[in-house]
Amino acid sequence: MTESRSAEGHNQTDTAQAAVPTDRESRRYSGRSRHSRSIEKIFRLRVIIAVLSVALLVNTFGWIAASAKLAATEERFLQYQLSSRQEISESQHLTAEVERLKSEKEILVKGVIPGLRLLEFDSTITIEDQYVRNIGFTLTGTNHTKNYEYRIVLHNDSLNVIAPAVTVFLFDDRGIQVGTTVLSKIDATSKVEFSSLQPNETRSYTGRIGLNIQSEPKYFMVDVK
């Protein structure tokens, strides 16, 4: 019986000794697990930081590129505005210069040919030269075939019979004569028995002025005898 108790005592001692290593191993395993989780957490944080850093860099480079593109666009726009203003200024200057040259040319042409007047259409131009009162011109036809028609009014305010002798000349912008017509009895708008103009008589003539040179008329002159 003593031996039996002794055996039981040894068994309890062995069990206690066996339990001690098991607790140690459990604590070691728990410590390793916590350490592993800490490492994993740190790794995840580093990955997140790296991703955010890359995203920040991408956004930064994108902002820089957009800013540079915007600056270049604004520069081109400013250059375009400046160029447009210069072109408008040059155009206005050239237009004024052309008008000035036209005016000077008109003065020169009129100075070379006394009595020359600017050809105007669809208006009544006062002449008041002896028995010629006024004249008007009308442009008919097409762009390829232009007709220059006239209507002239004569009035004899004297007591004498007048034999009208009126010639209408057309000139181009160089002062070159390009067309002419002489008033005739057949051109009168009303039927007349005599070519002569009776005292206190008013008579109108209409007709077409043919061009002997294919150049656009710019001036006219009425020669009254």
pLDDT for 15-57, tens place per residue?
444 444 555 555 555 556 666 667 777 777 777 777 667 766 7
Say whether pLDDT at 103 is over 90: no
Between 34 and 157, where is the model more confident?
157
* Structure confidence at residue 71 (pLDDT): 75
CA dist 11 and 169 (Å) reads 152
Collapsing DSSP to helix, strand or coil, 74 comes out as: helix
Give residues with Cβ within 8 angstroms of 109, minimum separation 6: 116, 171, 173, 174, 175, 219
CA dist 80 and 103 (Å) reads 34
* Structure confidence at residue 5 (pLDDT): 47
Token pair for 163: 């034999």
How confident is residue 187, by pLDDT bands cut at 50, 70 and 90?
very high
Between 107 and 49, where is the model more confident?
49
Mean pLDDT of 189-200: 90
* Structure confidence at residue 89 (pLDDT): 73
Averaged confidence pLDDT in the chain: 79
Owner of token pair 């850093």? 53
Give residues with Cβ within 8 angstroms of 67, minimum separation 6: none
Q: Which of 27-36, 58-67, 74-83, 192-201 has the lowest mean pLDDT?
A: 27-36
Mean pLDDT is highest, among 3-12, 32-41, 152-161, for 152-161
How confident is residue 81, by pLDDT bands cut at 50, 70 and 90?
confident
B/e letters for 80-102, b = 16+ CB within 10 Å, e = fewer, are eeeeeeeeeeeeeeeeeeeeeee
Between 142 and 105, where is the model more confident?
142
β-bridge pairing 132-141 and 202-209 = unpaired
β-bridge pairing 132-141 and 124-129 = antiparallel
